[in-house]
Amino acid sequence: MKVSCIAEYRVFDARTENLSLSGALLKSPFEFSPGEDFAIVFNPPGLRSMFTVAVRVVWSSCEQADGDPRSYQLGVRYHHLSSGNRKIFKEVLNMAGNA
């Protein structure tokens, strides 16, 4: 799922490769180090709500394949999901087949 990310002075698009109620695996065009914080904006197709979740990077690795531009895989953990966002997020997981 495509998401938007907001990190100190930059907004960029990333893709989620794996979602759960506690965190996600992101593919990002930017490098982050463990311990860095930023926000993910979810705007899932089929839902009328968009929501933002603050995350902390747990791990990061660089990947480059067959001349493609460099990208980074980021393991992130959510800081807090409100009860309302948790309900919406469960719908997102069901739609993505990750529930």
**Is the model's pLDDT at 97 over the cut of 60?**
yes
Exposure string of 68-92, with b = 16+ CB inside 10 Å and e = fewer, is: eeebbebbbebeebeeebeebbeeb
pTM of the model: 0.82
Domains of the chain: which residue ranges?
2-96
Query: How close are the terminal C-alpha atoms of the chain, in Å?
Result: 15
pLDDT digits (tens, 9 = 90+) for 20-35: 889 999 999 998 999 9
Instruction: Please state, in angstroms and rounded to a whole number, the distance separating the CA atoms of residues 57 and 49.
Output: 25
Place of tokens 């948790």: 86
The fold for domain 2-96 equals: Thrombin, subunit H (2.40.10)
